[in-house]
Amino acid sequence: MRIVTTSVFVDDQAEALEFYAGTLGFEKKTDVPAGEYRWLTVVSPDAPDGVELLLEPAEHPAVAPFRAALVADGIPFTSFAVDDVIAEHERLAALGVRFVQPPVEMGPVTVAVFDDTCGNLIQIASM
């Protein structure tokens, strides 16, 4: 068993693609019409055949209160690995990404948390 796809809820798939591909640097992998929405995934350019991140429309009624509770408590929806959190924080901040938690060292792990502009907090982490 292996993880093939995971998802993040987004308010607008086109805007999410612009942020996740244009700003963060992921690459579009799949873009298939699915009724009113799309099966829209991105992947890391370092692992184009790796785990896909589905930009899932946030249409289910449970999504809004779930995401609001996570954001209110400062809990990231997911986490991405980076080689150097401090360098990635500087790169993304220079691109206008809003961090809600700057880099923090926690023993062997350094983390930072940003707002993905799509309704989620996302953590970046390095060991």
Cβ atoms 116, 100 nearer than 8 A: no
Q: What is the mean pLDDT of the chain?
A: 97
Count other C-beta atoms under 10 Å from residue 81's C-beta. Answer: 11
The whole-number pLDDT of residue 47 equals 96
Q: pLDDT per residue over 50-68, tens digit each?
A: 999 999 999 999 999 999 9
How buried is 36 (Cβ within 10 angstroms: 0-12 exposed, 13-18 middle, 19+ buried)?
Answer: exposed
Supply the pTM of this predicted model: 0.94
Sequence ranges of the domains in the chain: 5-126
Which has the closest alpha carbon to 92: 22, 21, 24?
Answer: 24
d(CA 35, CA 80): 29
Task: Tell me the percentage of the chain whose pLDDT exceeds 70.
Answer: 100
pLDDT at residue 97, rounded to an integer: 98
Output the CA–CA distances (angstroms, integers) from residue 41 to 35, 53, 68, in the order listed.
16, 5, 23
Does the domain at 5-126 match CATH 1.10.1750.10? Answer given as: no
Which alpha helices (DSSP H) does the chain contain, by range?
13-17, 63-72, 85-94
pLDDT-derived band at 17, boundaries 50, 70, 90: very high
**72-122 confidence digits (pLDDT tens):** 999 999 999 999 999 999 999 999 999 999 999 999 999 999 999 999 999
**Interatomic CA distance for residues 72 and 94, integer angstroms:** 25
- A 10 A CB-CB count for 87 gives 12
